[in-house]
Every structure is written in C-alpha cells, then in structure tokens.
C-alpha cells in the first residue's frame, strides 16, 4: 500500500479521487515494482528540468539547487556516511565476524531491552510525536511488496518477493505459545531493482526514498505534481478537506488496505500524500493541524489581499506554513533533541532573533538523507512512545485512556475525540529516552484483530540490516571515539549491565549493530537525548538538511527571502500556537508545548498569551 499511492501519482495525472483510488486497487498485484514505474522513476532522474526564477519551491524539490536541479527530488537514493556492509558486498544481510548469521532481531529485542514504563519528567508526548512527523517528511523507504511475508498461520510465506521475515525464537515467552514463527518484514526497493540505464549499479545497492529530501511538509503537500493536484482544492488557495461538525479534516476514502482498516460502515481512511497519516492518533492529529494551518493562512491572506488568485494564495500559504514548521523544527524541537549549545556550535542554528537573515546556504553540498540516520539512529526515539493515550478535558481532567494497539491504522477516533486527544498530546508525559520500550510496540504493533502484533524494535534492527548500515564500532571510530578492541572497551559509553547483555546476544563485540549499540550509550552531558555516536550522526544529517536548502526560511537571498518584517513574524511560531489555532475548541495551553506543564516554569495560559504570527505583514506582498 505504501508503494501504491506514489505508483499511481507518478504514472497517472489523475484529478479525480475515485479514478485514483480505483487505479490503486487495480494495480495492487503489480508489486513489487513494475516496468512502467521503473521507467518513470528513471526518467525523473535523467531529464533535467528547465528552472525558472521563483520564490516558491517546486513541489518535487527540483531546481532547489540551480546548478544541480535534480538534487533532492523524490525517489532519490539514501546516502551513506560509511560504506555499506552486506554479507556478499552487494545486498545480502551482513553476518557475524565468525561467519555465522547474526541473531534474530526479535531475540535481540527481548534480551537487550526492557518493557518497563518510565515516564519522562520533562517532556510531553508531543515531543516524541513531532519527531515522527519530521521523520516521515524527510524519508520513506519504498517497500517491495504490500503482501505479508507470514501467512495467516504466522509461518513463512515463501511466495512473497523480497521477504526477509524476522524469525521468532522457539522460547519466546509471548509469541511461541501462540505458535507464531515469524514476523513480517519486506525489504525496501533499491537502485538495482530499478536498473536505470545507462547507470548500471555496481557494488553495494542503495535503497530508494520516495519524498523530497527537504524539510518541506511533503507529508501535506505531496512530492510530485500529480499528488499535489489531488490534494489541492484549486479554490481560494485551499487544500481539499472533508467536514465534520464544521471542522476540517483530510478527505476520506472507505476502502480498507494495509495501512488503514475499515471494519464497519462508520470507519474511513484519510487521503494524504503519505499513507502513514493513518498510523496512530497523535500522528494524524498533527498532520490535521498543519492541513488546517494552511487553510487558515490562505483564508486570512485572501482577506488581506482580495486581488490574489488561487495560485498566489496557495503558494504564499504553503511558503509560510513550511517556514513556520522549519522554525519549530530547529529552534523549538531540535534544541531539545540535539542540545541548544551543540546546535549553535555545529552551526545548525544561530542566536538571531527578529529580522536578521542567515546566509550560509551551500550550493556545493548535495542535499541528502543518510541511511544511518533514517534507518538506524533516528529510530532510537521509538523508546519515547507511550502505549496508552489519555483523553483530557479543557481543565486537563482524564476522561479515559485508549491503547495504541487498538487504534493503529484506524483514524475514526480522531473526529470523535479530536480535542480530547490533542490535549493529551501536549499534556501527557512521554516515555523516558532509555532502554525501555512500551509493550504496545514490542508485542502488539499493528495487531489489528490478532492477539499479538509485530515488534517495532525488531523491525528497526532488521531495517538496518536491509540497508547495510555499518556496525556500531565503525561509527564510534568515524565519530572520533575510541575503537573498541574488547567488550570491556564499550564500558566508556555503555553501562556494565548493558554490556553483559550484549555479550549474551552477540558472538563478538565487533558484531554489535549501530541500531543496538548506539541506543545503549549514556546521554551526552544531560543536554541532549542521545549518546555521542548517534548525536554525531544527527549533527551530520540536520546540518546537511538546513544548509542545502536554498529556500530555508532564514535565507536572505533576494530571490527567495521573506522580507525582514515577515521573517521576524515567522520567528514567533511555536507548536503551542499551532495547537491553539487549529484545535476545535481549545482555549488554553502551556507556552512550551513540548515541555510538561509546570505551575511555575511552564503554566497553562490562555491561547491569547501565545505569540501570534501577524499575517498583515504579507499585505500586498509581491
């Protein structure tokens, strides 16, 4: 299903949702990837577009870099910080240095990580959830099949192409008694699958990511002109929506699929450029906030500039919405995640305020999403996921709680309890960033009607192997840390208890994977949310993301820049303001919505006290 939306959008410029949806269903059996899709992807990367001067970024990311107009477009290959590690040097899973297979990811998950519930004393669920929004905006591995690797009896289905199902140990205390032998895992499409002439693939394969590589809200607007056409209303600059009790939501469709379950006539799925919109309630809610924010901006700009046509209103609203999102991402969210001082030292942010520009765009660096970031390091923060979501009143009283596993890919609850869930998002504590993972994602991920589900930690480890991510010890060395020569050398960053667990799982200290070893490190100086090895990778990724984007909101380039008064307004953006402006009937929130409520340091205040971006600065804007 994750392949299908993009597949249809590339092949068919359909403006009617019904035809598009029917074509998705019609082509479901054409997976993993057919010749037409291969040809279209290859063509995208072969033909250079004619770039026109514009202050608006293209929907597909082309022409962001004038000298290299194809840099950053959809279906680009994941890049690498270190060379790939595959068993055969090309694509098979790496093995132990002893020559044996590495242990099952499920075995690692159950023997390394705990399932204790330890709440974070500082941060709300919004902190975790915004990180997932950014992850989805930046990358999306193209899955090679929509079918499950495991049959209805939970045994291997060898007919599914590119299946590397996760084996379940015979002594697994939760799954073995239910006769579960495998967990679904389908490998991602790579460049050798596409085989784009004349560039024949030599050596290790590189996987494909479907959206643009830029932080540009592609999850809302799409990454191809065909997606964009389906999602726009072409009236007043607005995005298409459905209405419930006078409130806007993404358009509905009612055909069940792998990423959204229809169990009754009351169920529906949300239409988006990214099918993961339906994955979990809080993820959906934030995407609804940004959809509503676009339309809120468009309506206000229309009042201020009644002479603007649909295209002008749409492009200006998209531009402002993305700018606000980038500001919140780097100056409100990432400063917690990577540490304020660390980001200043690494020139990811600056202590600028008001109307000062930042002019360090680097046209010589290619915009990239690094494999090690998207498919190993960044997945560590699944540890923050809270498995039970609180529904709260405006006075922040708990009405009820829901289990995450009951609402994976079932968005109907969104419209039934939109504000109650939203208040929980910015009030409830997330799980602590540690070695504990909620059982809702270790045993019940995407369970639907089953009595069990998948294991997200096991899937994360397997995805690292799928993408040939180099080992933990190699990254320690690459990041300037001492290379371990014995198990004991890991004690500089990992506790003795965790090193003992690693010894019981891996045959050699050299076998430890980045997606495991990196998650066990002690946090850097209590100023970030990761250890030094993963922090090193995050620094590389988020520096690249900002300095390679010619349209970055702080740019002073006359061709793309906001005016100084406009930039000063963008810098008033906050997640709290997004929450206030786009909830149904919420009137109060704490100013720092990623931080827990504190009566003295971060009290709940009326929304009127949250700074507002003054859109009048765009009156009669050129």
Go through the domains of the chain in sequence order and give each one's CATH number: 1-142+198-608 (1.10.640.10)
Residue 220: which residues within 8 A CB-CB, separation 6 or more?
231, 239, 272, 273, 287, 290, 291, 294, 321
Q: Residue 172 gets which letter from DSSP?
A: -
Question: What's the rounded Cα separation, in Å, for the pair 187 and 209?
Answer: 13
> From start to end of 231-385, where are the E strands?
242-244, 247-249, 252-253, 269-270
Question: What's the rounded Cα separation, in Å, for the pair 132 and 381?
Answer: 9
CA-wise closest residue to 383 among 338, 337, 429, 436 = 436
Is 567 within 8 Å of 274 (Cβ atoms)? Answer: no
pLDDT of residue 32: 52
CA-wise closest residue to 377 among 534, 152, 263, 142 = 534
Q: For the chain (length 622 residues), average pLDDT per consecutive 10?
A: 36 35 38 74 91 96 97 96 97 96 98 94 97 97 84 72 91 94 93 86 93 98 96 98 97 86 89 94 98 98 98 98 98 97 96 90 98 97 96 97 95 96 98 96 93 96 98 98 98 98 98 98 92 98 98 97 97 98 98 97 98 96 66
DSSP 201-247: --SS--BEE-S-SSSS-HHHH-SSHHHHHHHB--STTPBP-EEETTE
pLDDT of residue 257: 81
Cβ atoms within 10 A of the Cβ of 429, count? 19
For strands 429-431 and 119-124, give the pairing. Answer: antiparallel
SS3 516: helix
pLDDT of residue 11: 32
pTM of the predicted model, to two decimals?
A: 0.94
Question: What's the rounded Cα separation, in Å, for the pair 622 and 606?
Answer: 35
Which residues are known to be catalytic? 136
CA dihedral 484, 379, 151, 23 (to 10 degrees): -140
Exposed / middle / buried, residue 117 (Cβ in 10 Å: 0-12, 13-18, 19+)? middle
Residue 25: which residues within 8 A CB-CB, separation 6 or more?
255
Is 215 within 8 Å of 326 (Cβ atoms)? Answer: yes
45 is an annotated ligand-binding site residue: no
User: Tokens in use for 248?
Assistant: 């806007």
pLDDT of residue 33: 67
């Amino acid at each position: 299903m994750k392949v299908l939306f993009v597949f249809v959008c590339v092949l068919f410029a359909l403006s009617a949702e019904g035809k598009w949806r029917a074509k998705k269903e019609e082509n479901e059996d054409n997976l993993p990837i057919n010749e037409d899709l291969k040809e279209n992807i290859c063509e995208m990367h072969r033909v250079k577009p004619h770039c026109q001067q514009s202050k608006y970024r293209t929907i597909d990311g082309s022409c962001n870099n004038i000298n290299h107009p194809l840099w950053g477009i959809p279906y680009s290959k994941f890049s690498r910080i270190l060379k790939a590690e595959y068993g055969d040097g090309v694509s098979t899973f790496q093995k132990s240095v002893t020559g044996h297979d590495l242990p099952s990811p499920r075995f690692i998950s159950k023997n390394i990580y705990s399932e204790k519930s330890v709440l974070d004393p500082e941060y709300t669920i919004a902190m975790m959830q915004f990180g997932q929004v950014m992850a989805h905006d930046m990358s999306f591995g193209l899955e090679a099949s929509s079918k499950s690797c495991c049959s209805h009896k939970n045994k291997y289905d060898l007919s599914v192409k590119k299946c590397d199902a996760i084996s379940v140990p015979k002594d697994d205390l939760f799954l073995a008694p239910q006769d579960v032998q495998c967990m679904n895992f389908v490998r991602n499409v790579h460049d050798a699958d596409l085989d784009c002439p004349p560039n024949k693939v030599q050596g290790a394969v590189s996987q494909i990511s479907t959206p643009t590589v830029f932080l540009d809200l592609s999850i809302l607007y799409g990454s191809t002109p065909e997606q964009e056409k389906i999602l726009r209303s072409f009236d007043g600059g607005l995005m298409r929506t459905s209405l419930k009790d006078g409130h806007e939501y993404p358009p509905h469709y009612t055909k069940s699929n792998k990423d959204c379950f229809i169990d009754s006539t009351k169920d529906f799925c949300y239409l988006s450029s990214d099918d993961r919109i339906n994955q979990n309630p809080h993820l959906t809610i934030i995407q609804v906030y940004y959809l509503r924010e676009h339309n809120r901006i468009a309506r206000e700009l229309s009042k201020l500039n009644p002479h603007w046509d649909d295209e002008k209103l749409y492009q200006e609203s998209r531009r402002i919405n993305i700018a606000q999102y980038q500001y919140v991402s780097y100056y409100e969210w990432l400063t917690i995640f990577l540490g304020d001082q660390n980001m200043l030292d690494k020139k990811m942010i600056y202590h600028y305020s008001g109307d000062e520009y930042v002019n360090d765009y680097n046209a010589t660096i290619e915009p990239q999403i690094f494999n090690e970031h998207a498919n190993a390091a960044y997945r560590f923060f699944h540890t923050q996921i809270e498995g039970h979501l609180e529904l709260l009143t405006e006075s922040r009283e708990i009405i009820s709680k829901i289990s995450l596993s009951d609402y994976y890919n079932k968005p109907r609850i969104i419209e039934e309890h939109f504000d109650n869930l939203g208040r929980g998002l910015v009030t409830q504590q997330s799980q602590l960033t540690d070695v504990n993972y909620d059982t809702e994602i270790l045993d019940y991920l995407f369970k639907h009607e089953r009595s069990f589900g998948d294991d997200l930690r096991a899937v994360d480890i397997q995805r690292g192997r799928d993408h040939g991510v180099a080992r933990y010890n190699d990254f320690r060395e690459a990041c300037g840390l001492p290379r371990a020569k014995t198990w004991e050398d890991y004690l500089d960053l990992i506790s003795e208890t965790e090193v003992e667990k690693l010894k019981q799982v891996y045959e050699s200290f050299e076998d430890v994977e980045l997606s495991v070893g990196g998650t066990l490190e002690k946090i850097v100086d209590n100023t970030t949310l990761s250890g030094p090895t993963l922090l090193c990778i995050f620094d590389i990724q988020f520096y690249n993301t900002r300095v390679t984007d010619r349209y970055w909101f702080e740019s002073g380039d006359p061709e793309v820049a906001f005016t100084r008064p406009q930039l000063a307004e963008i810098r008033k953006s906050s997640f709290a303001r997004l929450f206030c402006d786009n909830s149904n009937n919420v009137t109060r929130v704490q100013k720092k919505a990623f931080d827990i409520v504190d009566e003295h340091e971060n009290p709940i205040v009326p929304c009127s006290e949250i700074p507002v971006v003054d859109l009048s600065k765009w009156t009669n804007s050129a």
